[in-house]
Amino acid sequence: MVQDSLVAALEKWPEQGIPDKPGAWLMTTAKRRAIDILRRDRRYREKLALLEGSDLRGDPAEADDRLRLIFTCCHPALSQEAQVALTLRAVAGFTTAEIASAFLVEEPTVAQRIVRAKRKIVEANIPYRVPEGAEVAGRLDGVLSVLYLMFNEGYLSRGAQVAMRRDLAEDSLWLARLVDELMPRPRCSAWLR
């Protein structure tokens, strides 16, 4: 963690300047990095326990909850940038810095998008559910963007914990299969005519 903090300082300080309290900055950065690693380790252990305890890829209740959360976060009332940022934060566990890096914007901008999106969900009374039929299509762009970014980060991770991020790629594929199951299928009889 300390090494990661020093690397971050070498990258950011030339651009942003040395902070007033460099020691405190390094400690805060190391602490945040440690928390991120602990969260990822916990997610990895939980997923591993799910896989070991079942022949299924995941618990159906977990799948329902995650799909509900993804589709709630990707509601058309939110801008697509806010949809993707909020979902990456809430579902994939990305840090605000990682999301900012993916969007190529400043970290405070992403943090504000996430706060506004959460507030809008509460104020607009957006239901926590998986949409059905035509409603799915209205949210599909945001959902697929999230799954794409999750897969890319897991497969082409730039972080120090590359092996830890491989589960993101697998997780995004699993979620994509669940979303695929929601899509309407053409009737066979229509194809035979």
Q: What is the DSSP string of 126-156?
A: ---S---THHHHHHHHHHHHHHHHHHHHHHS
The reply to whether the predicted model has a pTM over 0.75 is no
- pLDDT recorded at residue 103: 84
- pLDDT recorded at residue 61: 56
Pick from 155, 154, 145: nearest CA to 179: 145
- pLDDT recorded at residue 183: 76
d(CA 70, CA 64): 10
Distance, CA of 63 to chain centre: 15
Report residue 77 as tokens: 């009332």
- pLDDT recorded at residue 63: 63
- pLDDT recorded at residue 55: 44
- pLDDT recorded at residue 115: 93
pLDDT tens for each residue of the chain, 193 residues long: 678 888 888 888 999 999 999 999 999 999 988 888 888 888 888 877 776 665 444 455 556 688 888 888 989 889 989 999 999 998 888 889 888 888 889 999 999 999 999 999 989 888 888 888 778 878 888 888 888 888 887 777 655 555 556 778 888 888 888 888 877 666 554 544 4
Pick from 118, 167, 131, 168: nearest CA to 147: 168
